[in-house]
């Protein structure tokens, strides 16, 4: 479905040997054209609903439930600006465990970084290094200055904890509401039509310069 809506491009494929005067033309999909949702698009809650991806969800299964057709999975990906589904889609728990065991010796004890807690002038969640954790710092609590150890201001975050956190961030996506679905597909179709230019052949085909 998605590929049928992408336009084609015609480019010259030069032969390896002589003669070099002749060119063979090859037609391929123009993957360089990208349709991106505006960065402020999600501020308009009227168009989208939030959705939390579960371990059993896939783009096609969500598209089936939301739009009645699994082949509109590309709408799910495009409206969430997902480029590589293998990276942008959240892993399930078993996939996470497998990845951690393959890439790290001891992900549940290995420290990924340190994070501050809310205390004095320090906000919660600031990433700091081991040197900060091991040092002492002046803390201003309601006008009272005291000296505190880094371990009182921040705590360690393990590799596994960090990995699970980042994966959970990917679970929250936006689903285009069904009543705007056909309009979106139509806009995507129109956006992938070529306008007349020196390289124009048809609305679905142009040649390279």
Q: pLDDT tens digit string along 148-198?
A: 999 999 999 999 999 999 999 999 999 999 998 888 887 777 766 656 666
Do the Cβ atoms of 163 and 96 come closer than 8 Å?
A: yes
Query: Do 118 and 145 belong together in one domain?
Result: yes
Task: Confirm whether 203 is domain-assigned.
Answer: yes
Range of the domain at 125: 98-158
Q: pLDDT tens digit string along 45-101?
A: 678 899 999 999 999 999 999 999 999 998 998 888 888 888 999 999 899 999 999
Task: Confirm whether 164 is domain-assigned.
Answer: no
Query: Do 45 and 78 belong together in one domain?
Result: yes
Task: Confirm whether 9 is domain-assigned.
Answer: yes
- Name the nearest CA neighbour of 120 among 97, 153, 82: 153
Task: Confirm whether 153 is domain-assigned.
Answer: yes
Do the Cβ atoms of 204 and 194 come closer than 8 Å?
A: yes
CA 129 → CA 84, 139, 209, distances in Å? 31, 18, 51
The domain tally of the chain equals 3
Task: Confirm whether 185 is domain-assigned.
Answer: no
Task: Confirm whether 61 is domain-assigned.
Answer: yes
Task: Confirm whether 186 is domain-assigned.
Answer: no
Task: Confirm whether 46 is domain-assigned.
Answer: yes
């Amino acid at each position: 479905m998605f590929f049928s809506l992408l336009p084609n491009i015609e480019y010259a494929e030069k032969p390896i040997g002589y003669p070099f005067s002749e060119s063979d033309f090859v037609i391929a999909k123009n993957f360089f054209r990208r349709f991106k949702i505006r960065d402020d698009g999600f501020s308009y809650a009227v168009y989208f609903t939030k959705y939390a991806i579960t371990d059993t969800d896939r783009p096609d299964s969500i598209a089936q439930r939301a739009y009645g057709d699994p082949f509109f999975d590309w709408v799910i990906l495009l409206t969430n600006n997902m480029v590589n589904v293998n990276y942008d889609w959240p892993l399930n728990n078993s996939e996470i465990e497998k990845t951690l065991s393959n890439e790290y010796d001891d992900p549940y004890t290995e420290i990924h970084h340190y994070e501050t807690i809310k205390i004095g002038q320090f906000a919660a969640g600031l990433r700091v290094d081991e040197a900060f954790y091991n040092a002492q710092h002046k803390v201003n609590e309601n006008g009272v200055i005291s000296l505190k150890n880094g371990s009182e201001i921040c705590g360690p975050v393990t590799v596994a904890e960090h990995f699970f956190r980042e994966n959970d961030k990917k679970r929250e996506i936006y689903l285009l509401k069904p009543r705007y679905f056909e309009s979106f597909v139509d806009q995507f179709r129109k956006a992938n039509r070529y306008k007349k230019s020196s390289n124009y052949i048809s609305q679905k085909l142009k040649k390279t310069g």
